[in-house]
Amino acid sequence: MDRRAQRLRKIRDWLWEIPPEGAMKVPGRVYADGPPAPDDPALEQVANVACLPGIVKWSLAMPDFHWGYGFPIGGVAAVDVEHGAISPGGVGYDINCGVRVVTTRVEAARVRTRRHEVTAELYRTIPTGVGSSHAIPRLSRDEMDAVLAKGARWAVGRGYFASGGDLAHCEEGGSLPGADPGTVSERARERGSDQLGTLGSGNHFLEVDEVAEIYDPAVAEAFGLHEGQLAMQIHSGSRGLGYQVCDEALAELTPAMGRYGVDYAALPDPQLACAPIGSPAGQRYLGAMQAAANFAWANRQVMTGLAVRALCRSLEISEGELSAALLYDVCHNVAKVEEHLVDGERRRLLVHRKGATRAFGPGDPRVPPAYRDVGQPVLIPGDMGRYSYVLAGTAAAMEETFGSSCHGAGRLLSRHQAMRLARGRSIHRELLDRGIEVISRGKKTLAEEMSEAYKDVARVVGVVAAAGISRLVARLEPIGVIKG
Amino acid sequence: MPRAQAAPKLEGVRLHLPQPYEEISHTADVGIAAVGATPEEALARLVLALGALLAGGGAVEPAGERGISVSGAADLPQTAVALLREVLFGFATRREVPCSCEVRSLAPGRAEAAIGFGRYDPALHAEGVDVKAVTYHGARFEPGERGYRAQVILDI
C-alpha cells in the first residue's frame, strides 16, 4: 500500500486530499462520495502525478478515476507553460478519445419499433472492431496532411456533417491550431491512413438514445433537448495514428529522462516520462499530439456524416425530417494550453486531461455563444445497458478543477472479472429484454463491456453535481448500440 | 546466484504457439507475463503471449517470417517493451499475428529475434484483443525461482 495514500484527509463532502510528501510538489485531490480505499493503486498514481515538474495547485482525480498506467484514468494535471513538463502518458495512447451527442427532431418512439433495422444499418455503415478500416477511401499523403492540420473542418468540407453548426459545437472548433503534421511519423500515418471514419473496439461505441429525463429545463432548452427526443452518441478517438504518436513519444522520452534534470529523473513511474514543454522533444510531441487530436475530430465528424445518412435510410426519412444537429463534442484525452485564474492571477497552463472532460462554466468566452449563458455541455457516457448524462460546466469547476469534470462511468471490474461474471449468460439477450439492441463484432466485447463491469454512472455524475463542478441537465437511455 | 543465470542458452530454439503465459488482471487493461529458463526464452514466450491475445484463441497458420532487432532502451524491461512494440506495429499495419519466435540475442538495450507470423483472419480471430500499445507501466524482467519472468501491461 502506498504510504502517501494512507494519509488521505477529508477536505469537505465529496473531496479528499493526499497531503504532499517526498517528491510530491502539490497535494493530490480526489472527488468521491466516500473515502477512497487507501490500497487503490490509482491513488498512488494520483500522488505520482503530483511529482510532475511545473505542476500547479493539485493533482486531481475525478470520481470515475481508476488505475491507469502512469496517470490514473480520470486524472487532471495543469502545469505552467513556461516551466512545466508535457507528459504523453498524461494524454494517453488514444489521443483525443472523446464523445459527441447529435440531436434530432425525430421522436425516439418512432425508432423503438424499428430498432433492429436502425442498429443494423449503422453497423453496416460504420466499420467496427479490431483494425477496422475503409469507411472512406484510404487517405493520400496530401489528404492526411489536411486532416492533421484541419481536424473536423476537413470532414465538414467533404460533406460529413449533421448540420451547418457542427464546427461551432466542437470543443476548440474541432481543430487545434498548433498541430504540426510534419511531426507525425510515417509509421503513425501508416497506422491511420485507412482508419478515418471507423469506431474501433473496446469501450468505443455508437449509440442511438432516447432523451429520457430532463433535470434542468432552462439549460436543456439551450442545449436543444426535450424528453422523448431521439439522440445519438459517438465515442471514439484517433485510432492507430494516435496510439503510434504516443508510443513513439514515450519510446523517445523514457530512456532519456535524466537529461532534463533531477526532477525528471526522479519521477516514480517510467510511464510518466515527460519533457520540458519548450524543449525540442516537448515541442515535437505537442505538435504531433495536436495533429492526432485533429485526426480524432475528423474521425468522429466523418462517422457523424455517415451515421446521419444511415439513420435516414433506415427510418426512410429525409435529412430535413431528421434535422440532425451536433449538440457538442468533447475530448477525454488531451493536453491543451488554457488560461486559468490561479490564486487571483491569470496564468497560461498546459492542462492534461486523461479520462476527464473540459467543463467550462457560464460566461466563459471559450464556450460557444449558444451555450455561453449556461456553461458548456459536458457529455458523460455510461454503460451500454443503463444510461448516459448531459451536464453543464460551472463556475466552481473553473475555480477548483481547471474547468474539468468526470468522463464516464469508470471501470469497476477488470476485463477478466467481467468475462467470469458473464460466463453462462447471454448479455445480448439480457439487453434485448431491456429494449436495447446491441450489435458487436464478437461476444467477448459484450461480456467485457457489460453493465456490471462499470460503476453506475448515475453515482459518478451525482458526485460532480453535488461537488458543484458540473450541473445535471438530462439523462439519455440506449435503444440501439454498435460496438467493436 | 539465481539458478536462471546458470541455465544453458537456447540458441536455435524456436518456440511456437501455444506457450504458457499468465494474464495479469488490470482494471482497464491487460497484463501478460511469461517465464523461461533463460531471458531469451522468457521474452520469446512474452512475444507469443501477445500473439495469443491478438489471435483470441484462434489458430494461426504460418505465412512468413520477419527478423526484428531493437536497440536504445535503457534496461531489459524496456528492451522487452521495444520488441513487443515492433511486433504490435506489424499486426496493426500488416495484420501479422506472431505464431513462433526465436530470440537470438538479448541484452539490456538490445534484442534480436526471428518471428514467424500468420495473417489475421477476422472470422478465426474474432475474439482477439485490440491492443493499442505496449506500455512501460509495470514492465518487469527479473530472475526468479523458475528462471526468468518477463511482464508487460498492454493498453487495450
Residue A92 belongs to a domain: no
Q: Is A428 tagged catalytic?
A: no
Q: Which among A70, A202, A443 is the nearest to B137, CB-wise?
A: A70
Q: Tell me if A254 is assigned to some domain.
A: no
Cα A106 to the center of its chain, rounded Å: 27
Chain A residues whose beta carbon lies within 8 Å of the beta carbon of residue B31:
none
Q: Residue A423 has what pLDDT?
A: 93
- pLDDT per position as a tens digit, A192-210: 999 999 999 889 999 999 9
DSSP at B21: -
Cβ of B138 within 8 Å of Cβ of A69? The answer is: yes
Residue B7, pLDDT score: 45
Confidence grade of residue A113 (pLDDT, cut at 50, 70, 90): very high
**A33-69 pLDDT, tens per residue?**
999 998 899 999 999 999 999 999 999 999 999 988 8
Q: Angle at Cα A402 formed by Cα A99 and Cα B29, nearest 5°?
A: 45
Range of the domain at A396: 98-246+276-483
Contact criterion met (CB < 8 Å) for B136 and A273? yes
Amino acid making up residue A209: D
Q: Which of B132, B136, B139 sits opposite A94 (nearest CB)?
A: B132
Choose the closest CB to A66 out of B27, B56, B132: B27
Of these residues, A204, A332, A352, A407, which one is catalytic? A407
Taking CA–CA distances from B121, the nearest residue in chain A reads A130
Share of chain A above pLDDT 90, in %: 90
Per DSSP, A411 falls in state: B
Rounded to an integer, the average pLDDT of A439-463 is 92
Is A399's pLDDT higher than 70? yes
Domains of chain B, by residue range, sit at 3-155
Within a domain: residue A297?
Answer: yes
- Indicate the pTM of the whole model: 0.94
* Residues of chain A found within 8 Å of residue B27, distances taken between Cβ atoms: 42, 66-67, 411, 413-414
- Band (pLDDT 50/70/90 cuts) for residue B5 is very low
Phi and psi at residue A413, in whole multiples of 5°? -110, 150
- Using an 8 Å CB-CB cutoff, list chain B residues near A199: none
Whole-angstrom CA distances from A303 to A100, A114, A136 are 11, 21, 10
User: How do residues A303-334 score in pLDDT, each as one tens digit?
Assistant: 999 999 999 999 999 999 999 999 999 999 99
Q: CATH classification of B3-155 is 3.40.50.300, yes or no?
A: no
Coil vs helix vs strand at A449: coil
Chain A residue with the nearest C-alpha to that of B54? A130
Task: State whether residue B104 sits within 8 Å of chain A by CB.
Answer: no
Amino acid at B105: S
Find, among A280, A183, A297, A294, the residue nearest to A236 by Cα.
A297
Dist CA B135 CA B155 (whole Å): 7
Instruction: Indicate whether A363 belongs to any domain.
Output: yes
CATH code at A392? 3.90.1860.10
Which residue do the cell numbers 511486433 mark?
A: B87
Q: Is A130 in Cβ contact with B120 (below 8 Å)?
A: yes
Asked whether residue A286 is assigned to any structural domain, the reply reads yes
Task: Spell out the residues 6+ positions from residue A459 whose beta carbon is closer than 8 angstroms to its own.
Answer: A33, A63
The pLDDT assigned to A236 comes to 97
Q: Residue B32 carries which side chain, given as an amino acid letter? A: I
Q: In what order do the strands lie in the sheet with B15-16?
A: B15-16, B96-107, B110-119, B62-71
In a domain, A341, yes or no: yes
Which conformational region is residue A128 in: left (phi greater than 0), alpha (psi within -120 to 50 degrees), or beta?
A: beta
HSE toward the beta carbon, residue A89, CA cutoff 13 A: 29
Instruction: Tell me how close the Cα of A395 comes to any Cα of chain B, in angstroms.
Output: 31
Are A328 and A201 in contact by the 8 Å Cβ rule? The answer is no
Query: What is chain B's Cα-based Rg?
Result: 14
CA–centroid distance for A124 within its chain: 25
Mean pLDDT value across chain B: 90
Residues A201, B130: C-beta atoms closer than 8 Å: yes
**Segment B38-69, tens digit of pLDDT:** 999 999 999 999 999 999 989 999 999 999 99
**Model pLDDT, residue A2:** 65
Domain count, chain A: 1
Selecting from A73, A131, A417 the residue whose C-beta is nearest the C-beta of B92 gives A131
Element (H, E) at A73: strand A71-80
ipTM value? 0.88
Q: What local confidence, expressed as pLDDT, does residue A271 receive? A: 87
Helix (H) or strand (E) holding A348: strand A345-354
Q: Looking at the complex, does the CB of residue A49 fall below 8 Å from at least one CB of chain B?
A: no
Residue B73, chain A, CB below 8 Å: the answer is yes
The CA angle A265-B109-B118, to the nearest 5 degrees, is 125
